[in-house]
Structure 1
Amino acid sequence: MNCEGAKDRLLDYLNNELPAADRATLDAHLANCPDCRHELAETKQVWQLMATVPTPEPRPDMRTNFYAMLDTFAEAEAARPTRSWTSILDQIKSFWTPTLAARLAYSLLLVSLGVAAGYWLQQKQSPDVAYRQQIDTLSSQVQEMRQMMMLSMLENPSATERLRAVSYTKDISDVDGRVIDALLTTLNNDPNVNVRLVTLEALADLGHDSRVREGLIHALPQQDSPLVQVALADVMVKLQEKRSLKPLRQMLRQEGLNDLVKSKIEQTIRELS
């Protein structure tokens, strides 16, 4: 077993989910590989850190309040009149914000222009060339609409919707500056740690872009979550970004820096030096 295969199995190893044969092979590798033993210790510390996050205890009256809420809801539904077209239109109006209307209008304009351009080209050029150009135009418009949808969803107050928005980057073939800026803003400012971690993963996949690399380096001192700090240090190693050494050393001088984060940063500095 090589180091890459061993590291892929560490989580299953810690959770006692490896088959006996694989576990024995991994034990033998760990006995002779100090790097993988260190990686195992680091991974175990991360799990221990996550285990310290307190789980809120349900209040004693939660069950009573829940059933009272259900009764209230059932009574309200029973007394509720049949939905009319007026009520449906009112709901649509409440959802129809000026921003959404402008973005939808812009998208429809792009599609209309694409169809018109495709029809004109079809009249001027051979059928094959016109067809290919029309397909390219529509593909470009679909990409634009995906980016607009993603940017809009990143502003949603729901963390679930923001997670979904970040996942859309995988469907965008040519990510532009607006998307990169929005992802970096989310990484640095989103109140939800899980959203920031998923955003970091999406940005790491775009690491070939110099703007992304620069933004990730500047993001290092702005993180306050130990989980994000550790993950960002891993990304710096993955990208072999030596320009991150200076902000990493500055982070080591921060007061109250988490011991796990400090150990991870020291390891990252060694690997990049």
Structure 2
Amino acid sequence: MGKLPINCEQTQEQLTEWLSNQLPDAEGAIMDAHLAQCPACQAEADSVRQLWQMMGQLPTPEPSPMARIRFQTMLDTYKETIADKPESALDNLLTKFREFFTPKLAVRLAYSVALVGVGILAGYWFNHATGPNVAYKQQIDTLSTQVQEMRQMMMLSLLENPAASERLRAVSYTEEINQVDSKVIDALLTTLNNDANVNVRLVTLEALAKLADNPTVREGLVQSITRQDSPLVQSALADVMVKLQEKRSIKPLRQLLHDDNTNHMVKGKIEQTIRDLS
């Protein structure tokens, strides 16, 4: 029995696999047939294909010519310092001790201790309590709250880390925070608007989109449209606006559309977004 024709929603779900030639021949033929007779899906496929091509043409950043010189200078200085003043075993131990108890690692340690505490109390309560034990339940609730606070502290701390990988990890902590407060939202919006790394901004946008039930987040996403200079982030924001059906975004999207600095492929994406929202 052959496969039934697919609808537009199924086409959208399989579009990435189709463009990357990952669909089986039979399903690919069904996609081809649907796209041939559906102008809307064909337009979306063309738009995504153009975006992929644009992403492939983005230049790979080259390190500064001075980077190697600066690194070598730092390395030589370090070697001279070690040669001039050999570090004693005690000094080495103290240095490692100080490094271990930096604010960031201290937060991680406290977070781990809190998790262990929750596990111990929960295990004791479930294994030994013969009835409702209010005291232990209150202690578990208190420790759970402290764990949430630790996660938030870690996230806010890591967002200020100079390493992009650490900032990406910070954003991932939003999935572990049960109740995201105004500090976290403000930090995420600041990262979305100001982070130098495009990947960090894209991941932050994805995290904020999941929190879009919050009015502050929705307003922040709308205001962020005109603050973005990356074609990838601009395009991703346009997709989020369609997903949220956020009609307030039409005005800033039009501003972006009339900006001479906006990539022409992104302008095509924005035009489609405005039509979808109108």
Same fold (TM over 0.5): yes
Q: After superposition, what is the alpha-carbon deviation per residue over 1:142-161, rounded to whole angstroms, capped at 9, x for unaligned? A: 11100100110111111111
Query: Percent identity at matched positions?
Result: 60
Q: After superposition, what is the alpha-carbon deviation per residue over 1:178-210, rounded to whole angstroms, capped at 9, x for unaligned? A: 110000000000000000000000000001100
The letter for the 2-side match of 1:145 is M
Q: Partners in 1 of 2:101 and 2:139 — Cα distance?
A: 31
Structure 1 residues 57 and 270, CA gap change in structure 2 (3 angstroms): closer
Counterpart of 2:133 in structure 1 is: 128
Counterpart of 1:4 in structure 2 is: 9
Alpha-carbon shift at residue 95 of structure 1 (Å): 6.2
Structure 1 residues 202 and 83, CA gap change in structure 2 (3 angstroms): farther
Counterpart of 2:187 in structure 1 is: 182
4+ runs of 1 displaced by more than 4 Å?
55-58, 94-97
The letter for the 1-side match of 2:8 is C
Counterpart of 1:161 in structure 2 is: 166
Counterpart of 2:53 in structure 1 is: 48
Structure 1 residues 56 and 195, CA gap change in structure 2 (3 angstroms): closer
Q: Equivalent of 1:33, from 19, 29, 38? A: 38
Q: Equivalent of 1:226, from 204, 227, 231? A: 231
1:12 aligns to what SS in structure 2? helix
The letter for the 2-side match of 1:193 is V
Aligned length: 244
Within 5 A, what are the aligned runs for 1:109-258? 128-258=133-263
Alpha-carbon shift at residue 94 of structure 1 (Å): 4.8
Alpha-carbon shift at residue 93 of structure 1 (Å): 2.5
Structure 1 residues 197 and 56, CA gap change in structure 2 (3 angstroms): closer
Within 5 A, what are the aligned runs for 1:254-273? 254-273=259-278
Counterpart of 1:62 in structure 2 is: none
Q: After superposition, what is the alpha-carbon deviation per residue over 1:106-137, rounded to whole angstroms, capped at 9, x for unaligned? A: x68x96xx99xx9xxxxxxx952222222211
Alpha-carbon shift at residue 83 of structure 1 (Å): 8.3
1:87 aligns to 2:92 (yes or no): yes
Counterpart of 1:64 in structure 2 is: none
Q: Partners in 2 of 1:223 and 1:6 — Cα distance?
A: 30
Structure 1 residues 197 and 171, CA gap change in structure 2 (3 angstroms): same
User: Is the Cα contact below 8 Å between 2:155 and 2:170 reproduced in 1?
Assistant: yes
Could you state the TM-score of these two structures normalised by the residue count of structure 2? 0.78
Structure 1 residues 137 and 184, CA gap change in structure 2 (3 angstroms): same
RMSD between superposed Cα atoms in Å: 3.3
Within 5 A, what are the aligned runs for 1:17-28? 17-28=22-33
Q: Partners in 1 of 2:89 and 2:198 — Cα distance?
A: 42
2:21 aligns to what SS in structure 1? coil
The letter for the 2-side match of 1:270 is R
Structure 1 residues 56 and 159, CA gap change in structure 2 (3 angstroms): closer
Counterpart of 1:68 in structure 2 is: none
Q: After superposition, what is the alpha-carbon deviation per residue over 1:23-42, rounded to whole angstroms, capped at 9, x for unaligned? A: 01111211222111111111
Q: Partners in 2 of 1:137 and 1:230 — Cα distance?
A: 43
Alpha-carbon shift at residue 82 of structure 1 (Å): 9.8
With 232-241 and 3-12 compared, the bigger mean Cα shift is at 3-12
The letter for the 2-side match of 1:235 is V
Q: Partners in 1 of 2:18 and 2:143 — Cα distance?
A: 48
Alpha-carbon shift at residue 256 of structure 1 (Å): 2.5
Could you state the TM-score of these two structures normalised by the residue count of structure 1? 0.79
Q: Partners in 2 of 1:38 and 1:89 — Cα distance?
A: 64
Counterpart of 1:67 in structure 2 is: none
Counterpart of 2:67 in structure 1 is: none
Q: Partners in 1 of 2:165 and 2:255 — Cα distance?
A: 34
